[in-house]
Amino acid sequence: MHDEPNDHFVRAGAFSIEEREAVYRAIHTRRDVRDQFLPDPLPEDVIARMLAAAHAAPSVGFMQPWNFLLIRDAARREAAWRIFSKANDEAAEMFSNERRDSYRKLKLEGIRKAPLGICVTCDPTRGGAVVLGRTHNLRMDSYSTVCAIQNFWLAARVEGVGVGWVSIFHQHDMRALLGIPEHVEVMGWFCVGYVDRLYDQPELALKGWLQRLPLEQLIFEEVWGKVSGDPDI
């Protein structure tokens, strides 16, 4: 028996080395952007490609529960910022002393600076009363919408567009501002725009809030808690 060298054949469906590197580059250099937005409006074809990427996401039972509300109006973005600001003050109070001071120094949104806001929603009624794959965990609709968001985020990266996820607000405030029906979940407000720079690491790591965990500590073998090299239980 001998091993076939890998580069002598291309696995069905595999990308070329250059394509693979490009995809991994998009994944590893995607960033959450808060403050680096430029005011330039995004061309419609760029927005269309990013939304098409979002819409290509997997979804439970193919229910496609997402909607994308595009908000360009500065006054409405200002109102969204006020909604954020109220919740952000509440959030700061949830941390104790030193951590609260560090929290207050963080910039956690670019709602007014980014020329485009996109509110992504999840409609749990989209697929009818019973949805294939969602029968025993109703949250699968939100998980599906997060897949669409991640696709959007990666597409934005390859377009040179920055995206920042803002989740610090009361659902009912955002629903009221944007006329979103009561039964629809607000997944986030996304600040979208060209950027003057991208950090090479998560901003929260650079600012000393939290660091990336070592991957090897997060991979278990066979049973919860058993990491590679541990003796068999």
Ligand X SMILES: Cc1cc2c(cc1C)N(C[C@H](O)[C@H](O)[C@H](O)COP(=O)(O)O)c1[nH]c(=O)[nH]c(=O)c1N2
- Smaller CB separation from ligand X, 92 or 226: 92
Strand partners, 162: 193
Which residue in the set 125, 167, 171, 211 belongs to the binding site for ligand X (CB under 6 A)?
167
Instruction: Tell me if 184 contacts ligand X by CB under 6 A.
Output: no
- d(C-alpha 64, C-alpha 44), whole Å: 23
Which residue in the set 34, 113, 157, 175 belongs to the binding site for ligand X (CB under 6 A)?
34
Build a one-symbol-per-residue string for 187-226: x at contacts with ligand X by CB under 6 A, - elsewhere. ---------------x-x----------------------
- d(C-alpha 119, C-alpha 111), whole Å: 11
Least Å distance between CB 4 and ligand X? 37
Least Å distance between CB 22 and ligand X? 18
| Length of the chain (residues) | 233
Site for ligand X in 38-97 (CB under 6 A): none
Piece of the chain touching ligand X by CB under 6 A; list 5-13, 18-26, 30-38, 125-133: 30-38
Piece of the chain touching ligand X by CB under 6 A; list 50-58, 159-167, 170-178, 225-233: 159-167
Which residue in the set 152, 165, 190, 194 belongs to the binding site for ligand X (CB under 6 A)?
165
- d(C-alpha 160, C-alpha 191), whole Å: 14
Instruction: Tell me if 173 contacts ligand X by CB under 6 A.
Output: no
- d(C-alpha 228, C-alpha 57), whole Å: 32
User: Taking a C-beta distance cutoff of 8 angstroms, is the pair 146, 187 a contact?
Assistant: yes
Indicate the SS3 state at residue 71: strand
Residue 113 CB partners (closer than 8 Å, separation 6+): 35, 37, 39, 191, 193
Instruction: Tell me if 31 contacts ligand X by CB under 6 A.
Output: yes
- Smaller CB separation from ligand X, 109 or 141: 109
Query: In Å, how far from its chain's centre is CA 11?
Result: 30
Question: Which residue's CB atom is positioned nearest to ligand X?
Answer: 202
- d(C-alpha 73, C-alpha 188), whole Å: 18
User: Taking a C-beta distance cutoff of 8 angstroms, is the pair 124, 65 a contact?
Assistant: yes
Instruction: Tell me if 108 contacts ligand X by CB under 6 A.
Output: yes
Q: Which two tokens stand for residue 92?
A: 């700061």
- Smaller CB separation from ligand X, 46 or 87: 87
Interface residues with ligand X (CB under 6 A) are 31-32, 34, 108-109, 165-168, 202, 204
